[in-house]
Structure 1
């Protein structure tokens, strides 16, 4: 028999898969050809003990705990038992196979008990202090398949402990049972060879790479730019997954070690808040304090993997600078300070300041919020502030094309390209480094690449470490030339691999870049997906947090669109498109606006932080108003007249929207008095007698935003003079962002900040043999260790905002602009 299912990507029928009949413990079933015996047993509800087996890793047969009795028909059809028990995690079913597990075979049961006894010979009896105690597969299976007493009377093997694999992963080698889950993960999933088997026989153990043992050259798989801040050359953004999949307590977290017992913890499902990937996580807490986060299991999104940032960076939500009560600025005499006050007083003061300036205030809501928060900000700006001066973006963009593309191709489009699509696609990356900016996308792309079903090309000035792990082909593009390179791409995709263009938000900073990506997708019949960095960016687009956009992709200038919105909100939005981020800051500076309501924006993330600070200073000097909604004190707080505290993700419910357009609802972990942006804005609207309805807007079927011909044309990239180079930059996954505060162990695995140039550029700039270089811009300079590697000539790459060292903003230059590079 065969089974046929439609291909989820094309809708066409897949090739028929033969079904094979197999009998397990007397139960006859049919499974697809190629199914492992251990999976076939699971299908009929039979659990075979195992340690090395993991459904997302290749079979290894390393631990031998899953031994079963197997018999197969010979050529004459006579059932012949195999001479020894077989590992069910590596054996595929065959027609007529008969399997007897520990439930029906004394031989299989004895074999499993023997393996268990062997594994426990050197295993320490330290369950009461082991972090894995209470959730340990070895502990559980020792109880169900082990002996009641030990026959081992010699001294157990010990090692010095713990061994630091990284600043956040610690290894107790005597607990290791050599299942190789961790080494297989690092090789098959992350692509970071930071841990491996060493030595042989009784001396074999897991450890970090040792050149004396393995003959390993440190620069081979990982470039010198990927040495982390602790000096270890095998930094990985995904090492925390090895802790979770370790079936014993061999690998532990430096942050969680000895902090709690599993049975002391309360677990709650949630969604990671650090990027637009929407990874499923589990939050474990005790007495109102989050102690750890684990990866959830969602096959449609992150499968069972998350980045270390999603796993470990959660202390920012409960930092010492967390806002506990509203703040109001007291004026008069020598005092001009923020003081704590009641909610009633703060809302009254904020409402009074807004009431006097309605129609002359802007909104900068940032991209941290949920879909519900984003809709609240959109309604508040349009119906309470009575303005379209609203922009969620806190980054550089080159022209108005981004807003038009988002309105035409992203807002209201629903789920487009999915993670599953990426596994079987010809993918072109432009303005996007998945490992740094969208870690879950990186893992799914790598899965498809290793399976041979996906192919990746990247338009970038250099082949990064992450792109190398994706085996990506580099289409070399100096900053500012991406549109030209995209125009030259004539083919993308095939019958077996549909074309997908993944456009990162950075592409918007290149004049004509997004338009070229749209044209490429249309020219090649490919699908286009926009990939922002922050968790709330896609929701912000859906809610219309842009000066020309209303919720669902409705243009502000469309009368029918405004009428639909007014029918739900109870008030019509202004009909004239508003100012974008740059226009808002300029108007705040020159008095064109009387103030701003701002939330979730770090001034240091803006294209020109100093200009933003100057704008807020100008507002205060002119008697304007700054109202801030924040979880913690921020760079905006010193300039605010009223600060209204809002809940962090762990203390509120809502929905993030992934880059795919997939809603990711989550519930609050703690029930506290903290309020979401949505709740705070509604209270403020009520104080101003301008509440809005909770009604759901219908899908928009009218016209979309289109290019009006006023967008600036492409500009010729600058040509470096002697001693100069074109600046290229992007953010690293672990950087100086405040979402990683209070995590010293995670901080140690951040990639070190380096300046990278090509050999030709190094020669032209006289940098041969230099250990470090200084990069100078119009406003300042920064010094970095120098790395020379193949990349676009005439370009210097530095990280945007490294965890330690100067941010690009201090140079006063943006990507694509000229900087001076000296020894």
Structure 2
């Protein structure tokens, strides 16, 4: 191994079980032993937690080698750093270390219950395993009466504690303190009575609590949803990628007899390390609900949806879409495509190709949320094709950045893995977080973030004023919510260009980045090719084997909705879109009703499927292979965990529709039917190597908003809320934070602890609290924690709402 001289001075030579090894200075002995292939038993040790030496199971013998590096008694290898010339003997070669470890194990088992057959950890328990490998065959305390406690204690609705199993390794309390920053669990009592319990005066407010269940080495912490429901050795484990946000977190799906029993965090140091959010861990029951669509449906002559076979459903869908195209031939393309943001990149590619080769349109958009023309141009110019190694910001960059600026992004709620990485860097003293936001949220306070107080809509001006605080060591993270703030995305890009800072866009949904790469935008073709570029269109047309592609840029999601309502479009192909999330829910519902023909692809029954003419059941992520592209641009492939014949991957469904359209003389077939074929075609197509400038100039001038009565509405979705993909687990739902309206002190004093907010879409009554540093003139409410959501029941973000004292 070639090492530079300055690196050589950082190496320390030690001898472990007679084997000499050079390791970096400050390496713990337990890690150095791993370098020579020796696994020292341990319970409290965890590579992502600070050493504590709580369990003493990792004792090793460090004799005096004549250099003053020895100790008269066995030492805890998880807290002892190596020193030059140190000699370490583990249980492999030292009777002293072996006896010490066996003694510790004997003490741990004095009061530990013999309930392995019913313990959730039985079969994957480090205590069970190490009692066999490093413990005594018998105990001198046989026949003693073991300590017992009432059980279980509900630390939260989802985390239960069996105290008699606890060995006080402190992994859970250290995680709560060091990683999550949520004091929901703590050490209580002292001495022999010391135990884990609920922290004093600390209400449960953690989005990451499930991690303590996974890292608990003895089954003292268990999940309410999984407790006593399966044995580890009955489970089949499949690696997967979390589908709830754009973080791309690695997870493990444990299933039995075709049903998911639990989900665990995967181990991916480059992305989520070993941590996931509670939503990623527990929100999987939505795919097994009673409203799961298990067969195709078509609307009969009586106006009622009825079951149909797949061939019939494909044929009816094709005839209806073809008719919608013919009926509107004089007014442009006849069918709009709304894909939603939950698609794998393979499915998104299939929608993109179907729109162009079968429906002859660029009217396609994945953004089932408030959007803007400025954002459309921003995505084409600054986001598409960025990836690790190709200009993309990574999790590692967040750790090494001197500063991270958050704009339109609340990472604890919207991107948990990003928040965890930022907190890790902040605690290490490496990163300053600057938040352009209306107030310091709980997540921002745990990052010690410096607030740039900003009224929603004024982000562009706030970014312009940040010039002196931003330089080449800065990362700017912009959230998708910034699309609703005029000029803000352009201001962020300009700030990055002037200062040399790096810029990244963080959407909420797992499929958003992949949809951009796949061309599910009205101005982009697959691989980042601009629709307006003739060479790009020829490139794609040649690869797809068609004569030409439509050169006119299509309508975005809002434009599709408006065109349907106006009768300019006759048909709609819609997938996984909840009208309540769209820019104007009432307008979206009216547009679906006005459409001449609607084909809906979805997993569960929704208001869209109830209004559709053809309903096609799609496979959840557990039942198909696919790929998510996370916010970094990192490709995150996964295989199918289960096989369920009740639904099909969207690639297969869209291929069937395209084939039927082709038989009617409309468009061309997709030429692909499987995920593997789609991946191969995408790889062969490759990225665009021409200009990726925005295809059209966008007016981003910010017009002053005249002050009116009321406060400016600020809102975002909390991590645990009323999202449909969180349905099915009542314990997870019970951890959602109570919806409140945050008000400035003067407004709270005038209106009281309960307020009624009135906007142009309705009124809501909520309990109120004072936002300590909430910018004047602003009210904040969670976006989807009450009623049908803010967009349906109150107003659009950034608009003004009237605040009055409520009842009760």
Q: TM-score, normalised by structure 2?
A: 0.94
Rounded Cα–Cα distance in structure 2 between residues aligned with 1:603 and 1:188: 40
- Structure 1 equivalent of residue 329 of structure 2: none
Moved more, 684-693 or 561-570: 684-693
- Structure 1 equivalent of residue 337 of structure 2: 363
Residues paired across the two proteins, number: 775
Asked if 2 retains the 8 angstrom alpha-carbon contact of 1:539 and 1:656, the reply is: yes
Rounded Cα–Cα distance in structure 2 between residues aligned with 1:67 and 1:709: 67
Out of 608, 612, 620, which is 1:636 matched to?
A: 608
Rounded Cα–Cα distance in structure 2 between residues aligned with 1:819 and 1:510: 17
Instruction: Compute the displacement of 1:17 (Å).
Output: 5.7
Asked if 1 retains the 8 angstrom alpha-carbon contact of 2:748 and 2:768, the reply is: no
Rounded Cα–Cα distance in structure 2 between residues aligned with 1:99 and 1:20: 13
Instruction: Compute the displacement of 1:286 (Å).
Output: 0.6
Q: Do residues 608 (structure 1) and 584 (structure 2) align? A: yes
Asked if 2 retains the 8 angstrom alpha-carbon contact of 1:171 and 1:251, the reply is: yes
Moved more, 773-782 or 454-463: 773-782
**Structure 1's 365 and 4: CA in aligned 2 closer, same or farther, altered over 3 A?**
farther
Asked if 1 retains the 8 angstrom alpha-carbon contact of 2:377 and 2:698, the reply is: no
Residue by residue, what CA displacement relative to the aligned partner does 1:610-638 show, whole Å, maximum 9, x if unpaired?
A: 1111111122xxxx100001111122012
Rounded Cα–Cα distance in structure 2 between residues aligned with 1:413 and 1:567: 25
Residue by residue, what CA displacement relative to the aligned partner does 1:666-711 show, whole Å, maximum 9, x if unpaired?
A: 0000123332111110111111222134533232122223274442
Rounded Cα–Cα distance in structure 1 between residues aligned with 2:109 and 2:715: 51
SS of residue matched to 1:475: strand
Rounded Cα–Cα distance in structure 2 between residues aligned with 1:717 and 1:44: 67
Moved more, 271-280 or 547-556: 547-556
- Structure 1 equivalent of residue 206 of structure 2: 236
**Structure 1's 326 and 607: CA in aligned 2 closer, same or farther, altered over 3 A?**
same
Give structure 1 regions of 4+ aligned residues with deviation exceeding 6 angstroms: none
- Structure 2 equivalent of residue 583 of structure 1: 559
Rounded Cα–Cα distance in structure 2 between residues aligned with 1:739 and 1:16: 52
**Structure 1's 718 and 576: CA in aligned 2 closer, same or farther, altered over 3 A?**
same
SS of residue matched to 2:385: coil
Please list, as runs of the form range in 1=range in 2, the aligned pairs for 1:252-651 lying within 5 A after superposition: 252-331=222-301, 335-358=302-325, 359-397=333-371, 399-415=372-388, 416-425=392-401, 426-492=403-469, 498-571=473-546, 572-619=548-595, 624-651=596-623
Rounded Cα–Cα distance in structure 1 between residues aligned with 2:740 and 2:606: 28
Residue by residue, what CA displacement relative to the aligned partner does 1:576-615 show, whole Å, maximum 9, x if unpaired?
A: 0111111111111110100100001111111221111111
- Structure 1 equivalent of residue 675 of structure 2: none
**Structure 1's 818 and 707: CA in aligned 2 closer, same or farther, altered over 3 A?**
farther
Instruction: Compute the displacement of 1:549 (Å).
Output: 1.2
Rounded Cα–Cα distance in structure 1 between residues aligned with 2:792 and 2:294: 32
SS of residue matched to 1:491: helix
- Structure 1 equivalent of residue 330 of structure 2: none
- Structure 2 equivalent of residue 797 of structure 1: 780
Rounded Cα–Cα distance in structure 2 between residues aligned with 1:753 and 1:78: 63
Asked if 1 retains the 8 angstrom alpha-carbon contact of 2:530 and 2:695, the reply is: no
Residue by residue, what CA displacement relative to the aligned partner does 1:281-336 show, whole Å, maximum 9, x if unpaired?
A: 101011001000000000010100000000000011121111111000012xxx31
Out of 135, 146, 158, which is 1:156 matched to?
A: 146
Q: Do residues 21 (structure 1) and 7 (structure 2) align? A: no
Rounded Cα–Cα distance in structure 2 between residues aligned with 1:820 and 1:417: 40
Moved more, 153-162 or 361-370: 153-162
Instruction: Compute the displacement of 1:472 (Å).
Output: 0.6
- Structure 2 equivalent of residue 223 of structure 1: none
SS of residue matched to 2:104: helix
Rounded Cα–Cα distance in structure 2 between residues aligned with 1:445 and 1:739: 26
**Structure 1's 752 and 3: CA in aligned 2 closer, same or farther, altered over 3 A?**
farther
Out of 147, 151, 176, which is 2:136 matched to?
A: 147
Asked if 1 retains the 8 angstrom alpha-carbon contact of 2:153 and 2:160, the reply is: yes
Q: TM-score, normalised by structure 1?
A: 0.92
SS of residue matched to 2:101: helix
Instruction: Compute the displacement of 1:3 (Å).
Output: 4.4
Asked if 1 retains the 8 angstrom alpha-carbon contact of 2:67 and 2:85, the reply is: no
Asked if 2 retains the 8 angstrom alpha-carbon contact of 1:754 and 1:787, the reply is: yes
Q: Which runs of 5+ in 1 are unaligned?
A: 6-13, 211-216, 219-232
Residue by residue, what CA displacement relative to the aligned partner does 1:134-182 show, whole Å, maximum 9, x if unpaired?
A: 0000011111122222222332111110000000000000100000000
Rounded Cα–Cα distance in structure 1 between residues aligned with 2:798 and 2:324: 39
